[in-house]
Chains A and B, each alone.
Chain A
């Protein structure tokens, strides 16, 4: 199997008339790594993928594959395979013919075709379905056929455009694990487009978060979660999303607007125009530890393993993900505490993260990621 090849996107731009879909973005998808383009619909992630594939012509900028400029090359000259959201299976061909289509087009000898088909079908568990038509198999099986068509080509790069969005939740989870395993086993460079942050976090080595045609942040999943570069990323990654609170600055330091207790020292919150916003993840807040900020419980949503507690601090709402054994009742006044590390400070006007001087590097299992150096700052 061919090992992965690096993809570099440089200042890539795509516009149709006045409407700009991708606005001068740049990132690198490392060889053999799983890169996810993540963002809400209309953020330009699919367009970016299609420009890497060569299905869409870039207005300006460059796509480099294996340090070769392929910006004006046709798709088949780029050494890529692709899985489409709709699978794009040929309805009149059976599973085997669908998977073999590309090999036949490229005139691969019949004996080799048969061997590769057997290997691919075995890998994906399609052995019994080879002579069925796409309309005669289930959605999950169609997905595997589309995947088979991509991996039998043995190209160093595989591009995927929301391949799991047509599957039900259970199947989606299974395929997620399988895709990641497959990608690592084959060592291919994967670029994967999705709007589902859970999918992105579970599979990616690196996530490129996009918004409005620009990159908000490009980082590994842990950094993205622990050091979001902007309010947008902070709220996009994680369920339920991060609480964003207004911060008032007084002589004693930063306080949650309307509450007298300082939560950040004066040294961290300098005087700046526009003010600050404070981010706290619902899972980082603890209920019932003494010495915290006082909040009033407004609503409790029981989730089984844990509960979502809707609180109010002064006039601001805070969502807390708390353990179930914690007894809370609506109307109760509770003490809310958190670690200094779990506070995120943002510039209110630009939405960009303000790095605290006392931040520790993000720790991952076995690896240390650099954070600030490669975390792109957001905003203008």
Chain B
């Protein structure tokens, strides 16, 4: 009889997970081997046909490279910035509560709202950035309209949004380090940098691992501001993988190709997550 209770207790989570995570995942994988059904034409098995299309798709490669740079810049910069801010806020600082609040505010704001704020910063002519740079005589720059600058502009927004969130984790970890360690090191003559390198940073490694896994996932997941700010443009210059999947699936209604792109994204994320754990786990000291 007990097994019934066991399954009953499991069932809510089981139903939700299967219905909304596992089935769609399998469906997606399955669908990536078929053509997109249209009107009179039902889906037809095409084998790896969709994957061949993908390899030949120039937009895909452009989006892939955008995503690569987006991740390569946002992850280290946001994590490093978070660590720096946490160390600063952890110290004896006047108005430290206010500074912490200010740093954490972007995390509380929805990304859509954040994007709207940044739209105002970036607007050519009367945006905040142009107004300030204009006061010093610099020419007006169309940050979001220039194919060379659009990706950089959305990267800055993502970093601004992420760093404060990660800072909270670093701050919590820093405050769990006993102050006597710093004193013991000071008596041995360790300067601040040595103490950070030899003691603080190694003790923060579990947090760094956690934060960096999150940063990797977010760098593929956070695309809301693309919709508001650039819509992927100009000429796909700021389009990211997830944004492109959305476009293919719900604007062009090419569900089979969207499935193929999703599978690629999933494989990419799993490889990164597994790689991170194997690479970093050995160097992490857990208390």
Q: Which residues of A pack against B, CB within 8 Å?
A: 53-55, 74-76, 80-82, 84, 86, 88, 90-92, 101-102, 105-106, 135, 149, 153
Q: Measured between alpha carbons, how far is A102 from B191 in the docked complex, in Å?
A: 11
Given A76-B188, A82-B187, A92-B203; A105-B178 close (CB under 8 Å): no
CB-CB under 8 A from B178, the residues of chain A are 86, 88
CB-CB under 8 A from A75, the residues of chain B are 183, 186-187, 189
Q: Is B188 touching A102 in the complex (CB atoms < 8 A)? A: yes
Q: Is B186 touching A101 in the complex (CB atoms < 8 A)? A: no
Q: Is B285 touching A105 in the complex (CB atoms < 8 A)? A: no
Q: Measured between alpha carbons, how far is A350 from B80 in the docked complex, in Å?
A: 61
Q: Which A-chain residue is minimally distant from B190 (CB atoms)?
A: A105
Q: Is B188 touching A153 in the complex (CB atoms < 8 A)? A: yes
Q: Which B-chain residue is minimally distant from A80 (CB atoms)?
A: B187
* Prevailing SS type, chain B contact patch: helix
B108 interfacial by beta-carbon distance below 8 Å? no
Given A76-B188, A102-B188, A105-B190; A84-B183 close (CB under 8 Å): yes
Q: Measured between alpha carbons, how far is A185 from B192 in the docked complex, in Å?
A: 34
B21 interfacial by beta-carbon distance below 8 Å? no
Given A90-B199, A91-B285; A84-B184 close (CB under 8 Å): yes
Q: Measured between alpha carbons, how far is A135 from B186 in the docked complex, in Å?
A: 23
CB-CB under 8 A from A91, the residues of chain B are 203, 285, 287
Q: Measured between alpha carbons, how far is A84 from B181 in the docked complex, in Å?
A: 10
Scoring B residues 196 to 224 as 1 if CB is less than 8 Å from chain A, else 0, what string do you get? Answer: 00110011000000000000000000000
Q: Is A135 touching B287 in the complex (CB atoms < 8 A)? A: yes
Q: Is B186 touching A92 in the complex (CB atoms < 8 A)? A: no
B185 interfacial by beta-carbon distance below 8 Å? yes
Q: List 25 A-B contacts (CB under 8 A).
A: A53-B183, A55-B186, A75-B183, A75-B186, A75-B189, A76-B187, A76-B189, A80-B187, A81-B187, A86-B180, A88-B178, A88-B181, A90-B181, A90-B184, A90-B199, A92-B199, A92-B202, A101-B188, A101-B190, A101-B198, A102-B187, A102-B188, A105-B190, A106-B189, A149-B188
Q: Measured between alpha carbons, how far is A313 from B11 in the docked complex, in Å?
A: 79
Q: Which residues of B pack against A, CB within 8 Å?
A: 178, 180-181, 183-190, 194, 198-199, 202-203, 285, 287
Q: Which B-chain residue is minimally distant from A91 (CB atoms)?
A: B287
Q: Is B187 touching A105 in the complex (CB atoms < 8 A)? A: no
Q: Is B285 touching A101 in the complex (CB atoms < 8 A)? A: no
CB-CB under 8 A from B180, the residues of chain A are 84, 86, 88
Residue in contact with B187 in the complex, picked from A53, A86, A92, CB distance below 8 Å: A53
Given A91-B285, A92-B202, A92-B285; A74-B181 close (CB under 8 Å): no
User: What's the nearest-Cβ distance from chain A to residue B272, in Å?
Assistant: 26
Q: Which B-chain residue is minimally distant from A161 (CB atoms)?
A: B180
User: What's the nearest-Cβ distance from chain A to residue B179, in Å?
Assistant: 9
Q: Measured between alpha carbons, how far is A84 from B178 in the docked complex, in Å?
A: 12
CB-CB under 8 A from B184, the residues of chain A are 82, 84, 88, 90, 149
Q: Which A-chain residue is minimally distant from B182 (CB atoms)?
A: A88
Q: Which 7 A-B pairs have the closest CB atoms?
A: A102-B188, A76-B189, A88-B180, A92-B285, A88-B184, A75-B187, A105-B190
Q: Measured between alpha carbons, how far is A55 from B180 in the docked complex, in Å?
A: 10
